């Protein structure tokens, strides 16, 4: 939070904010003439602290809006006009700027992936450091192509540090309090070191502060060892799960960088792949599941006008054509709110085998035991189909506490099949799919006539903000 102000009785306010600098900010953005940034205005999270006044007696309306501000000076280059109104313009691959005294940047361009052929054609480009001087913040830029499926709304971009896969033991967990700029909600995934929304031109800027004991869960000794000069690291840059209206495009890319004492240090930095999605190998002729990776389909709560469930109940999920790369059914990891809810330390996700039509015990994969955000595991049958009632948390068996609210399910493949338990024998394509929202109501409450959206109540105890 950079500032706060009370509106007067007529709803008007005026406030002067200090300009961010190295003296008053965790990271000095060092904005220059022509740079633009968003000032996010929020209401509904702060209440009266007047002595003797119950804060809940002054509830506010929940609002979120972004005010675009451009630093005075030469304006930024204009966005090129699309060549075809039916298709997004092909982004130009930008030229890397001259390096500054903190990092050497490289630009990477890839293609989005997902079920629609149109989305898989859309290229995006980002720029980030190949070398970074020890102790300096990590600054990344999206330079083109970061738009949702409506080709108007900026994508919401999430950044993980040293987390190449779900449950990666090298993952650096964050202590930062982050907000989803599209919804105004708190980001609960502690792998996130930054979350930004792209501008309407498909560009963005993100700053990840240098890891410290204040902004990560690492100790000083761990930081000194893991981030010493000469060490190699990655930033995982993801879209697709934090923006659902409109649906975001699915992207997954990694930027690799080396920590150096000086930019003159010579180090070998891994080069990113040309495309994130691998070529699909030939499926054996006798295989029973031959659908292409992009042909999958699913339906949440079939037959229900408004998808709904009870606290501690189940939500039905049905799918077809979920095939792996060698002609069998996919292994699907299910997360709630993109990993926002997790099992308690002693619990592990159950494994539903669609070939048998029942749960067969806890998931045997190591990743399911170490990554508690995997709430459930589905093994599609030999034709790639499944029909399952997914058990939802009670009020006592998840972190944070589960309750009446609106939720989504995230379906992930490759996360499980890449686990050492399966020894690479049933490789899956990479998919990350988010369902529509479903509404959760209290235990025993009827599920007919439930209004879509947030139910009365909260998903667990709400913190008091000041």
Report pLDDT for 160. 94
> Is the CATH number of domain 103-260 2.60.40.10?
yes
Contacts of 135 (CB under 8 A, 6+ apart): 210
Residue 9 has pLDDT above 80, yes or no: no
Q: How far apart are CA 376 and CA 384, in angstroms?
A: 17
Give the pLDDT band (50/70/90) at residue 280. Answer: very low
Report pLDDT for 114. 61
Report pLDDT for 147. 93
* Predicted TM-score of the model (pTM): 0.47
Report pLDDT for 245. 83
Q: How far apart are CA 279 and CA 257, in angstroms?
A: 26
Angle at CA 38, nearest 5°, toward 35 and 43?
A: 165
Which is higher by pLDDT, 455 or 414? Answer: 414
Q: Does residue 250 contact residue 239 with C-beta atoms inside 8 Å? A: yes
Domain boundaries, the chain: 1-76, 103-260, 293-441
Average pLDDT over residues 381-404: 96
Which is higher by pLDDT, 53 or 423? Answer: 423
Q: How far apart are the first and last CA of the chain?
A: 11
Report pLDDT for 352. 97
Residue 367 has pLDDT above 70, yes or no: yes
Q: 68 pairs with which residues across the strands?
A: 38
Give the pLDDT band (50/70/90) at residue 449. Answer: confident
Closest alpha carbon to 138 in 242, 243, 257? 257
Dihedral sign of CA atoms 212, 215, 219, 222 in order:
negative
Lowest-confidence pick of 86-95, 231-240, 261-270, 404-413:
86-95
Residue 278 has pLDDT above 70, yes or no: no
Phi, psi of 55 (to 5 degrees): -55, -30
Lowest-confidence pick of 42-46, 122-126, 269-273, 285-289:
269-273
Give the pLDDT band (50/70/90) at residue 285. Answer: low
By DSSP bridging, strand 386-391 and strand 314-320 are antiparallel
Q: Does residue 328 contact residue 426 with C-beta atoms inside 8 Å? A: yes
Lowest-confidence pick of 183-197, 269-283, 310-324:
269-283
Residue 304 has pLDDT above 80, yes or no: yes
Report pLDDT for 350. 97
By DSSP bridging, strand 123-133 and strand 251-260 are parallel
Report pLDDT for 281. 47
Report pLDDT for 457. 53
Which is higher by pLDDT, 439 or 34? Answer: 439
Which is higher by pLDDT, 157 or 112? Answer: 157
Give the pLDDT band (50/70/90) at residue 73. Answer: low
Rounded-to-10 torsion of CA 361, 362, 363, 366: -140
Which is higher by pLDDT, 135 or 119? Answer: 135
Report pLDDT for 25. 67
Which is higher by pLDDT, 459 or 105? Answer: 105
In the chain, what percentage of residues exceed pLDDT 90?
44
The two counts, helices (H) then strands (E), for the chain are 3, 24
Count Cβ atoms below 10 Å from residue 125 Cβ, excluding itself. Answer: 21
Give the pLDDT band (50/70/90) at residue 111. Answer: confident
User: Average per-residue pLDDT in the chain?
Assistant: 81
Report pLDDT for 188. 83
Average pLDDT over residues 122-150: 91
Per-residue pLDDT of 77-98, as tens digits, reads 554 544 444 444 444 444 444 3
Average pLDDT over residues 273-289: 55
Architecture per CATH, domain 293-441, reads as Sandwich (2.60)
Lowest-confidence pick of 44-58, 117-131, 306-320, 422-436:
44-58
Same fold, 103-260 and 293-441: yes
Lowest-confidence pick of 132-146, 163-177, 368-382:
163-177
Report pLDDT for 101. 39
Report pLDDT for 75. 47
The widest CA-to-CA distance across the chain, in whole angstroms, is 76
Q: Residue 56: exposed, middle, or buried by beta-carbon count in 10 A (0-12, 13-18, 19+)?
A: exposed
Q: Does residue 323 contact residue 289 with C-beta atoms inside 8 Å? A: yes
Which is higher by pLDDT, 318 or 12? Answer: 318
Average pLDDT over residues 206-227: 95
Report pLDDT for 454. 66
Q: Does residue 227 contact residue 134 with C-beta atoms inside 8 Å? A: yes
Which is higher by pLDDT, 236 or 429? Answer: 236
């Amino acid at each position: 939070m950079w500032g706060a102000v009370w509106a007067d009785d007529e709803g008007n306010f005026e406030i002067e904010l200090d300009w961010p600098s190295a003296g008053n900010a965790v990271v000095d953005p060092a904005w220059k003439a022509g740079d633009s940034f968003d000032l996010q205005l929020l209401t509904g999270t702060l209440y009266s602290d007047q002595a003797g006044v119950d804060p809940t007696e002054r509830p506010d309306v929940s609002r979120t809006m972004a005010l675009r501000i451009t630093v005075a000076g030469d304006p930024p280059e204009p966005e090129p006009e699309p060549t075809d109104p039916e298709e997004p313009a092909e982004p130009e691959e930008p030229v890397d700027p001259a390096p500054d005294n903190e990092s050497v940047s490289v630009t990477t361009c890839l293609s989005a992936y997902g079920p629609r052929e149109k989305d898989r054609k859309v290229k995006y480009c980002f720029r980030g450091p190949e070398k970074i001087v020890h102790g300096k913040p990590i600054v990344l830029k999206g330079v083109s192509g970061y738009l949702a499926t409506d080709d108007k709304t900026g994508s919401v971009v999430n950044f993980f540090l040293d987390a190449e896969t779900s449950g990666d033991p090298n993952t650096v967990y964050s202590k930062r309090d982050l907000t989803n700029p599209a919804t105004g909600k708190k980001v609960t995934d502690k792998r996130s070191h930054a979350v930004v929304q792209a501008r309407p031109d498909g560009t963005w800027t993100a700053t990840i502060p240098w890891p410290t004991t204040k902004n990560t869960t690492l100790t000083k000794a761990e930081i000194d060892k893991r981030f010493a000069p000469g060490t190699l690291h990655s930033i995982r840059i993801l879209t697709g799960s934090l923006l659902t209206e409109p649906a975001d495009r699915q992207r997954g890319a990694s930027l690799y960088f080396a920590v150096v004492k000086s930019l003159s240090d010579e180090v070998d930095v891994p080069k990113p792949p040309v495309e994130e999605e691998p070529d699909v190998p030939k499926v054996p002729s006798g295989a029973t599941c031959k659908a292409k990776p992009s042909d999958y389909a699913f339906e949440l709560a079939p037959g229900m006008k408004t998808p709904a469930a009870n606290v501690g109940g189940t939500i039905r999920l049905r799918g077809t054509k979920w095939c792996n790369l060698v002609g069998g059914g996919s292994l699907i990891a299910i997360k709630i709110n993109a990993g926002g809810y997790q099992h308690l330390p002693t619990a592990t996700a159950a494994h539903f085998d669609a070939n048998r039509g029942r749960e067969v015990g806890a998931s045997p994969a190591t990743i399911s035991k170490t990554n508690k955000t995997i709430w459930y595991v589905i093994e599609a049958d030999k034709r790639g189909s499944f029909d399952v009632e997914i058990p939802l948390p009670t009020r006592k068996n998840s972190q944070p506490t589960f309750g009446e609210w609106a939720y989504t399910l995230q379906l992930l493949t490759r996360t499980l099949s890449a686990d050492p338990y399966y020894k690479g024998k049933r490789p899956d394509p990479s998919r990350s799919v988010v369902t529509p929202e479903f509404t959760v109501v209290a235990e025993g409450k009827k599920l007919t006539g439930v209004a879509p959206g947030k139910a009365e109540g909260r998903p667990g105890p709400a913190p008091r903000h000041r």
